[in-house]
Structure 1
């Protein structure tokens, strides 16, 4: 749900900076999901938006 809202926002305002998108997504996720992303060896400084968003969806399940 959060991811869908974020994607809608990016499409509306035209935010295209990959790193900024990753940081906003990562910081908006709850700690459990962030921990899961770290466990998957993802990093908000180097991981792609697609990798983080896909992994976040899987961790949430």
Structure 2
């Protein structure tokens, strides 16, 4: 399963900048705001994605 990949994205113009700029100072939240929750929930997210892929492909 290590060759599978998933992408999370936002369609707002500022999202990439807010995520990537480590020099921005946030009164709430932080830069790289997607990475923490992803890493903390990696196993659960992998299972959810796998379940949806199996459902969509009849597997």
Task: Tell which has more relative contact order, 1 or 2 (C-alpha 8 A, sep 6+).
Answer: 1
- TM-score tier by shorter-chain length is under 0.3
Tell me which protein shows more helix as a share of its residues. 1
Tell me the TM-score normalized by structure 1: 0.27
Select the structure of larger CA radius of gyration: 2
